[in-house]
Structures are given as structure tokens and as C-alpha cells.
Amino acid sequence: MKTLEAEQKAQYLGRGGRDVLGRGLRSQSHCSQTDWVCVVDVLYKEKHNVISLFPFSEIRFQCPMYNATLFSTQQSVRKCRAASKKRDFREELRLGPSQPGDSHKCGRVSNGTVGRRSTLIEPERLKDFGEEELLNGDVKVCDTKVTGSPEIMLMEPPKTRRVSEFRIVHRPPVQYLRFEDISAAAFRIQTGIQRTPCTYSRLSKQYGMEIYLKKEHLHYTGSVKERGVLYLLTSLTQEQQRKGVIVATDCNFSMAVAHHAVELKIPVFVIMPSCCSSPRLRNYRDYGAMVISYGSTGHDSQKHARHLAKENGYLYMEEDESAAYLAGLGTVGMEIYEQVPKVDAVVVPAAGQYGLLAGTAAAIKHLNPQILVIGIEPEGFPLLLQSLKTDGPVKDMHSNPNKKLYGDLVERSLGVNTFHLAKTLVNKVITVSEEDSLVAMLRFQEFERSTVDTEGAMGLAAILAGQLPELKGKKVAVVVSSANMELELVRQCVDRALVLDDRVSKFSVELGEWTGDMAKLLDVLSREDVRLLDVCHRRHSEKSDLFKAKVECVVETRDKTQSAQLRKMLTGFHIAEHKTQKKKKKKKKKKRNKRHEEAK
């Protein structure tokens, strides 16, 4: 009889056999009763105590020692058939014809011989059979080491549990964005994306914390979205890359697609509304994309782009919450963790599809769950903050934010997967006003010598506004996501920011039409060392007195202190007519007070 080797034992266990200290054997083919008798004979000769027999199915036996001998019924019956025929005839001559009897479990069975004998399996009856008589010495055994503790009783039945006793093991939910995906994206895009610096800011001393600026606006297209777009394009199939891609509207995502698609030699088409400015159209053409002007709004361009994609087989691309896109954006978090040792908090702008916030949070929280991740979004469009309050993505905010200033920040929606990532991983979400963002843009120009847009300045705006007092004395990394803004809009934002920062003041005084009054005013401004930007001399005003003129001045000061000092000097600016007007006001005030007293 041939024993099981290592590979045969593995196959036997995989088919449902049992290997608990050699207690069970299963038959994989139909066997006659004689075959089973031969197997039992061999087991008895090998000093294995037969516990139970299930004909044609299974034999249960007990091994007296831990070096158990394993038998394969399917192989043993073939060797037993020839040897058992000789014994069957000898048994028939010695015992005579057998009568039909009951088997151990399955009723009447025949042993397949000419005569008939009892088919009961009794180990005591098999004592007289020897190895030579049974199988002519054709028995091969081998010792197999079986692991287990000696305390286990071989006669014990396997322990079973009721259905109610089974403990329900809650498996963790499948992660939509894994750290392995972010690592794969970092490896894939390392040749096409530059590693942006994360430098120490000179603003740190003013606000009492170590501020490190992750300058993602230094990418070729001026936006962090290049990371997600490049990994998204490299993940396309060869057939999709051959046919080409198409995008619509003027945004950072479209510019990133236009640039990297050309670099990867993928045909790219950009559908732009007719109201788009000429410099923006020129940028797309410089990237190498095919630009088509269609429609008066972005909605018309998107509709036409989908129609062209359906007709020509192009892949229509728009900013979404796909795992590949979020994984590419999540590489920002990996670089921050490597570039800023022992960082305490990461401030990320939350806008658009909120992919940058979700991807960065996924990477940071995997590397160090103790690092705080704070999201910043516009005060006029707090989509994520409202979604967290309602515990679900909000589709419509019913608000009218400044689209000229924020651009595509307020033209997107919050996806379900991105919302769940932000809800699970982001520690805090705050909003910043438009004024704070403009002042932050001014600080970038003064201290960092760089121009950023509103989205890129939102992280620093939260610190300037004093909304993060818990970060005092800590090491904070701020993501500067983009710097795409038209030159005319930059000029308007800077002018407005100077006014908000009390660096530009506007005042008006009334001067008489006498010689030297205007010279006295200009002399005061020169003594205060302020820069006169604009002056307007209005003679005929509805509220001004006769022979008097209203003079409006716009001046630029160094800081808030100089602006306050200038206002103080102007209140003490003495002119004869100005004194007379003050006296008239005092008289009118006294008369008014007397009337009130008389009325009482």
C-alpha cells in the first residue's frame, strides 16, 4: 500500500480530508466492501484501533503513538484488490458460504465473492491475519511527524459550536483611498512632476509659530492639480491614450490636462467659452492643445465637449473624486512629512472637489495619526462645513460668492467618497473671509516675493486672521496650492488689500478759496512722510458752502500706526473757515439740547 507524501497530503486535505493526529481517511472513488475490509486489516496490523467505519466514505481510527501512518484509500484499494482475491477463496473454503448480514451503518452489502460471509467489521476477528497472508508483504509505511500536544484525547469528537455561539467578526470597511495607492502614484509621477520646496517663512516670528510653506504654485502650470492629472493620464489604457482626451472650461484642471497630455503625446482638445480672455487662450495653445471656442458660458462648452467625445470616441475628462486622481494629489502629504521633520499640523485649502484635502489627509494620517489636518474654505461658500454639520454632502449652498475672485473654487460639488475621507481624517474645518484672503495675498508678495491667487492664500489667511490660536509655538505646514490669476485682477486685489491693511487711506477736507490753504494741506502730508496717490478738488458740491471746495485725497502710508497718526494730524488742521464751521455746529447743538429740555 502506497502512503501519502507531502504533496499528496496537501491535495488530500484540500479535498476535505481530516488530519487530526491521523484520525480520518476519506474515499474519493467507489470501493467495494472487500476493499474496505482489506484496508481495515492493514490498519489493525499496524496497531491502529478502528473507531468507526462509514462504508465507501470514511474510516476513523486511533493511532497509539504520535508517529501516525497515513493511508490513501483511493490508492490502497488498487493494491488490495489482487491480494484479497486469494484470501477470499481460502476464507470461503475454511468458513463456508456466508450469509447476508448487516454492515456497521449502511445496511446489507455484498462482499463481491462467489460465496457470502458476514460483513461485520470486527477487529478481533482480524487478529489471525498476517501481513504476508493479506497483501503478500506489499506494504510500505513511512513515519510522518504530526504536530500537536499529547494532552489532546484522540477519542474526543471534534468540538462544535452552535450557530448562536459564533462571534460575528466585523471586518474593517474597504478603504476608498489606500496609502499604497498614494505610494504608487508618487513613484509613477516622479519623473514628470518636480519636487516642490517646503521652506521656512519669515512670517513665523510675527505670528508665534514655525510656518513652512509647501509651494505647489511653482509647478509648470501653477497648480497642484498637475499631480492628480499626470497620474490619471498615465493610468489610462493604450486605446484611450491613442484616441485622445477632451476637456472644457477654463480652470487649473484643464490647464494641467492640456500640458501633460501633450507631454505624454496624447491628443488633447480644449473647449473654451467665447468670453475667455486672450492670455488664457494663448496659454493653452502654447501648451500644444487644440483650442475650440464654443458657447457663451462654461455650461455650453461642457455640453459641446461631451457631444464631441461621444461622436469621436474621445475621453471626456473633468475634475472628479476618482481614486487615481486623489492618490496623485495625496503625494503632497508624503512630501510634507519627509521635508518637515516633526510637523505638528498641516493646513490645506479645501475647495473645488476637495481632492487635495482628502488626499493629503489620507497620506498624513497614515504616516502619523497625531498630526493635525485642518481644512480652509471660503466664507462665502462653506460647502464642506455645512456638509459636516448635516452629516451628508450638500448639493446646493444657495449662496452667491465672488466668482471673479474665487474662480472654479465655488463651481464644484462635494463627492460622497471625498466627504467620507474628510469626515474621518480631517480634524478641523474653518472658513476665511474675502478680506483676509486678500491681505494674505499681499503678505505673499511682500515676504515671499511671489504672487498667488485666492486659493493659494487661504491657508495663510487663516493664520493671519487669528483663527488657529492652538497652533502657537508649533510647527505648521501650509499648502500653497495655486497661483493662476490674471494680471488685471491681481492689481485690483493688491489695491483692495492695501486699503484693508490700512496702508492706503482716503480722506476729504473742506478748504476755502483763499491763497495758501491747499499749500498748508500738502505741507502737512509732506511732514508726515506719506505718499499722495490721488487728489480731487471739487468746487461745486451740493453740501458745501459758498466759496468753499471739497478736497479728497488718497495717500499711502507705511503701516497702521502712521495711518492713525495722519488722521490725528488732519483733525487738528486749523483753517479759519474750518473754525467758523465748528462754532456753527456747536451753536446748533446747544439749541437742539435746549429744545429737548423744554420738551421734557
Quick one: pLDDT at residue 71?
A: 44
Coil, strand or helix at 456: helix
- Side-chain-side CA neighbours of 241 within 13 Å: the count stands at 15
Per-residue pLDDT band at 523 (split at 50, 70, 90): confident
Q: Read off the pLDDT of residues 216-230 as tens digits, 9 standing for 90 and up.
A: 999 999 999 999 999
Q: Which of 286-290, 310-314, 548-552 has the lowest mean pLDDT?
A: 548-552
Higher pLDDT, residue 125 or 516: 516
Domains defined for the chain, CATH in brackets: 6-135 (no CATH), 180-206+339-497 (3.40.50.1100), 216-316 (3.40.50.1100), 502-585 (3.30.70.260)
Phi-psi sector, 152: left (phi>0), alpha (psi -120 to 50), beta: beta
Element (H, E) at 545: none
pLDDT beyond 80 at 122: no
Q: Do 83 and 36 touch, CB atoms closer than 8 A? A: no
pLDDT at 371 exceeding the cut of 90: yes
Concatenating the DSSP letter of every residue in 486-516 gives -HHHHHHHHHHHHHHTTSEEEEEEEEESSTT
- Calculate mean pLDDT across residues 104-114: 43
Residue 414 has pLDDT above 80, yes or no: yes
Contact 374, 347 (CB under 8 A): yes
Burial of 8 (0-12, 13-18, 19+ CB in 10 A): middle
In the prediction, which pLDDT does 97 show?
52
Q: Average the pLDDT over each of 73-82, 338-347, 413-422, 423-432 and give the range with the smallest value.
A: 73-82
Q: Which residues of 16-39 are buried (b: 16+ CB within 10 A; e: fewer)?
A: ebebebbbbbbbeeebbbbbbbbb
Contact 496, 441 (CB under 8 A): no
Q: How large is the average pLDDT for residues 265-285? A: 90
Count the Cβ atoms, other than its own, within 10 Å of residue 433.
Answer: 14
Enter the pTM of the model: 0.65
Max Cα distance, the chain (Å) = 155
Per-residue pLDDT reduced to its tens digit, 7-61:
444 444 444 444 333 334 444 444 455 555 555 555 555 555 544 444 444 454 4
Burial class of 444 by CB neighbour count within 10 A (0 to 12, 13 to 18, 19+): buried
For the chain, the average pLDDT equals 75
Q: How far apart are CA 88 and CA 91, in angstroms?
A: 5
Highest mean pLDDT among 65-69, 307-311, 500-504, 527-531: 307-311
**Length reported for the chain:** 600
Does the pLDDT of residue 463 top 60, yes or no?
yes
C-alpha 74, offset from chain centre: 55
Least confident of 126-135, 410-419, 424-433: 126-135
588 band by pLDDT with thresholds 50, 70 and 90: low
